[in-house]
């Protein structure tokens, strides 16, 4: 209960402080409060893994409830986003268990017109969520406790981030025995020249060794992307290399690349491409060749049914080839339809005993729609099916390849602006 009260009164104190600051400030300032309510109904019968013939479908409603508090003047930006995440029915009607958490809570010092320093719990989104993403599809989403240095002019931007994690305040040592990274350092640059955009990124994350406090296993990821964009036709791609050590002290030598082309008609957008993620060579015990997609939003890339959400584990270290085609049709000013097909293959051999399994892991069809009910409300939904085969069943360690796999969802997102000092002034 104490945790719940602490968060609740912290929010109240922040709101009161910002309101008083805004009312008494002589400089131009803006204060806003918005909310997000996002219930999502899901039907699962073959989601994430192939189902068995006698599997019973799952059916539930999850919900995100957020309050977004923002303040900005010419010196600072403040943002706080407490949230409650639940499955309907997981708490009794008279339950008192604390469930409120902090998704974001940061301050950004505007040092000059081009330079700022941001610190606190924050989302980190770069290069379209490819390696660092917010994972917004998941109700709790993802955020990092980090310091971020930012420089930006009209065309060039560069960010430097650093994070050092501990489970709690301590008197001695820096022991950190969790699945999370202990250290994260990131550098990112991007530039645009007319219709050409490029970016480069370096990420290193470190995990504590199990038998010591001081020693860490360091992993390094470096690469970038290049794209050409105009009003109708876009083509872009990226490539990344990964090195360092695994948590079992094995050298890493892995890579990934992607290529996508997109053409926009008046109402129809057609896109296609390839994602390639290297896998491990089981015959080479001295090097680990499976690329880890780090802190990406993989739901966005490798099929909505999330069979390959956790790479490399979801393919037994065999990597992934994803050949995809998508269509997005704008049916009206407030509605759109989406179709996507993914064909999945292993990137490296995976063995069943002494025999390599077939590389084809099946395919997936995703259908979705979006309807903008109001400026603050959107209804989304979709159905998906995965065509599993014997390789899928072997890789996922469960299921029957002769039965179908289905997933359906319906999500209502309501994001009203509750207060805005800028609007109030008008």
pLDDT at 7: 56
pLDDT at 22: 57
Q: Which tens digit of pLDDT belongs to each residue from 159-201?
A: 999 999 999 999 999 999 888 999 999 999 999 888 999 999 9
Mean pLDDT over each residue of the chain, to the nearest integer: 92
pLDDT at 283: 74
pLDDT at 421: 85
Q: With cut-offs at 50, 70 and 90, classify the pLDDT of residue 206.
A: very high
Q: Which tens digit of pLDDT belongs to each residue from 236-246?
A: 999 999 999 99
pLDDT at 93: 81
pLDDT at 2: 38
Q: With cut-offs at 50, 70 and 90, classify the pLDDT of residue 94.
A: confident
What CATH code is assigned to 2-167+178-425?
Answer: 2.40.160.100
Both tokens of 381, joined, read 């939904």
**Mean pLDDT over residues 102-127, rounded?**
97
**Mean pLDDT over residues 209-233, rounded?**
92
Q: Which tens digit of pLDDT belongs to each residue from 259-287?
A: 999 999 999 999 999 999 999 987 777 89
Whole-number Cα distances in Å, 104 to 131, 286, 341: 19, 41, 34
How many whole angstroms separate alpha carbon 287 and alpha carbon 266?
Answer: 49
Phi, psi of 154 (to 5 degrees): -60, -35
pLDDT of 3 higher than 50: no
Q: Which tens digit of pLDDT belongs to each residue from 14-60?
A: 665 566 455 545 456 788 999 999 999 999 999 999 999 999 999 99
How many whole angstroms separate alpha carbon 266 and alpha carbon 268?
Answer: 6
Q: With cut-offs at 50, 70 and 90, classify the pLDDT of residue 11.
A: low
pLDDT at 4: 45
Q: Do 260 and 228 contact (CB within 8 A), yes or no? A: no
Q: With cut-offs at 50, 70 and 90, classify the pLDDT of residue 99.
A: confident
Give the rounded distance of the alpha carbon of 41 from its chain centre. 20
* pTM, entire model: 0.91
Q: Do 302 and 308 contact (CB within 8 A), yes or no? A: yes
Q: Which residues pair with 201 in a beta bridge?
A: 188, 223
How many whole angstroms separate alpha carbon 8 and alpha carbon 80?
Answer: 12
- Which residue in 416, 349, 362 sits closest to 392, CA to CA? 362
| Range 305-311, long-range pairs (CB < 8 A, 24+ positions) | 305/46, 305/47, 305/48, 305/364, 305/366, 305/384, 305/386, 305/405, 305/407, 306/47, 306/48, 307/48, 307/49, 307/344, 307/361, 307/364, 307/386, 307/392, 307/396, 308/344, 309/48, 311/277
Q: Which tens digit of pLDDT belongs to each residue from 40-50?
A: 999 999 999 99
Both tokens of 251, joined, read 């050298």
pLDDT at 194: 87
Q: Which tens digit of pLDDT belongs to each residue from 348-363?
A: 999 999 899 999 999 9
pLDDT at 1: 37
């Amino acid at each position: 209960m104490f945790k719940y009260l602490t968060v609740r009164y912290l929010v109240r104190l922040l709101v009161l402080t910002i309101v008083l600051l805004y009312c008494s400030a002589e400089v131009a300032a803006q204060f806003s409060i918005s909310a997000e309510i996002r219930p999502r109904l899901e039907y699962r019968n073959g989601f994430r893994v192939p189902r068995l013939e006698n599997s019973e479908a799952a059916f539930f409603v999850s919900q995100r409830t957020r309050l977004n508090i923002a303040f900005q003047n010419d010196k600072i930006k403040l943002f706080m986003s407490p949230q409650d995440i639940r499955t309907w029915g997981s708490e009794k009607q008279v339950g008192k268990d604390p469930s409120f958490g902090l998704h974001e809570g940061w301050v950004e010092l505007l040092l000059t017109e081009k330079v700022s320093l941001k610190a606190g719990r924050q989302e980190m989104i770069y290069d379209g969520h490819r390696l660092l993403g917010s994972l917004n599809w998941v109700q709790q989403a993802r955020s990092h406790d980090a310091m971020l240095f930012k420089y930006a002019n009209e065309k060039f931007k560069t960010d430097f981030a650093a994070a050092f994690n501990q489970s709690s305040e301590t008197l001695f040592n820096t022991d950190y025995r969790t699945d999370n990274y202990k250290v994260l350092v990131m550098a990112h640059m991007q530039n645009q020249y007319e219709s050409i955009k490029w970016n480069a990124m370096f990420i290193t994350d470190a995990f504590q060794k199990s038998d010591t406090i001081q020693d860490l296993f360091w992993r390094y990821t470096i690469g970038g992307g290049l794209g050409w964009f105009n009003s109708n036709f876009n083509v872009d791609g990226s490539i990344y290399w990964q090195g360092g050590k695994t948590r079992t002290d094995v050298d890493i030598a892995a890579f990934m690349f992607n290529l996508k082309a997109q053409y926009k008609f008046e109402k129809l957008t057609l896109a296609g491409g390839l994602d390639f993620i290297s896998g491990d060579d089981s015959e080479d015990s001295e090097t680990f060749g499976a690329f880890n997609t780090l802190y990406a939003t993989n739901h966005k890339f490798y099929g909505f049914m999330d069979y390959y959400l956790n790479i490399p584990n979801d393919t037994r270290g065999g990597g992934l080839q994803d050949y995809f085609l998508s269509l997005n049709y704008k049916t009206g000013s407030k509605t759109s339809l989406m179709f996507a097909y993914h064909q999945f293959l292993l990137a490296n051999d995976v063995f069943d005993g002494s025999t390599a399994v077939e590389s084809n892991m099946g395919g997936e069809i995703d259908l979705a729609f979006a309807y903008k009910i109001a400026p603050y409300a959107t209804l989304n939904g979709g159905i998906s099916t995965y065509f599993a085969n014997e390789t899928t069943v072997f890789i996922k360690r469960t299921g029957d390849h002769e039965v179908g796999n289905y997933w359906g969802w319906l999500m209502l997102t309501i994001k009203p602006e509750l207060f805005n000092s800028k609007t109030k002034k008008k």
